[in-house]
């Protein structure tokens, strides 16, 4: 994704429902982006009522994003069926191009 990020006019790193270790992770992410010439901002979203995938899509719309870059992490089919998942949700309802890495 780095070639896309270096040419982007704006990069936002969104973390949904982070745990307490997110502060250092955000700093590390900003430093990594800056080391590669990418000026990025971070946002944090907290939700219990809305699926993570829906938060990602809503945030992309709010930011007028033209690309979502995200990791794709799978669960077992049974667990995915019961709990759902952001990867599945994004692939099913994507509104902008998505670059995934697993």
Q: What pLDDT, in 10s, does the model give residues 36-95? A: 999 899 898 888 888 888 999 999 999 999 999 988 776 666 655 555 578 878 888 889
Compute how many other C-beta atoms are within 10 angstroms of the C-beta atom of residue 21.
8
Confidence category of residue 24, pLDDT binned at 50, 70, 90: confident
Q: What is the pairing mode between strands 68-71 and 40-45?
A: unpaired
pTM, two decimals, is 0.79
Using CA atoms, how far apart are residues 99 and 27, in angstroms rounded to an integer? 23
More confident residue, 99 or 77: 99
More confident residue, 11 or 74: 11
Q: Where are the alpha helices (DSSP H) in 36-76?
A: 52-62
The whole-number pLDDT of residue 29 equals 87
Helix axes 86-93 and 52-62, enclosed angle (nearest 10)? 50
């Amino acid at each position: 994704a780095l070639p896309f990020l270096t040419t982007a006019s704006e990069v936002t790193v969104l973390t949904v429902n982070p745990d307490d270790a997110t502060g250092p992770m955000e700093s590390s992410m900003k430093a990594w982006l800056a080391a590669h010439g990418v000026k990025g901002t971070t946002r944090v979203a907290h939700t219990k009522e809305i699926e993570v995938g829906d938060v990602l899509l809503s945030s992309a719309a709010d930011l007028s994003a033209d690309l979502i870059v995200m990791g794709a992490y799978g669960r077992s089919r049974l667990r995915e069926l019961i709990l759902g998942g952001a990867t599945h949700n994004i692939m099913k309802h994507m509104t902008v191009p998505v670059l995934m890495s697993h």
